Amino acid sequence: MPTPPVLRLASASPRRRELLASIGVTVEVQPADLDESRLPGESPESFVSRLAREKAEAGHVGSRLPTLGADTVVVQGDEVFGKPQDRVDARRMLEQLSGTRHRVLSAVAVIGPRGLLECRVATTVVMREIESVEIDAYWDTGEPADKAAGYAIQGRAAIFVSRLEGSYSAVVGLPLHETSTLLQAQGIALWAGPG
């Protein structure tokens, strides 16, 4: 007998669904269809937090369940890296990140009995020098095509990361420590689902 959902997830991300399942939270998925453009003059921090809030609000419409919206962006300086448009764009991103450090900002918003609760987490990722042939080989795996900044830390790009300061799960897409605090504040029991 499947466990009924205790949370609506306003995201189509399979990674967020898997992360929530890892802490026993069963979800119904209701992706929010939003314009995810950055506003003129908007800081990366404000941008990622606004998107998480807007996703939660859009996803919560008509829901009897608490709703979680989240967004994760890769930032270097003031530049926010989106998903690569093609091989050339992915190469540009990975060459820019190669041998440097960057920040991953992950914001979470949960709407429930206590209203809107939210948080934002910053994680620093340090990448080793990435060879040109490695970038080509990595693109050919198909993995970077739908990932912010063209890499997935939980996948093959893990070999490019020499150090991480902060939350690993936030880089994957959802900071579990902070998310669990928000969920519990909204009355959602963790590890309630089947193990």
Which residues participate in catalysis according to the annotation? 71
Whole-angstrom distance, CA of residue 189 vs CA of residue 176: 14
Mark 59-86 as b/e (b = at least 16 C-beta within 10 Å): bbeeeebbbbbbbbbbbbeeebbbebee
Question: In the chain, at which residue ranges do the beta strands (DSSP E only) sit?
Answer: 7-9, 27-29, 67-76, 79-81, 101-112, 115-127, 161-165
Tokens linked to 150: 């063209």
What amino acid is encoded at 157 in this protein? A
**Dihedrals φ, ψ of 184, to 5°?**
-65, -35
- In sequence order, which ranges of 28-175 are alpha helices (DSSP H)? 44-60, 87-97, 132-140, 168-172
What amino acid is encoded at 128 in this protein? R
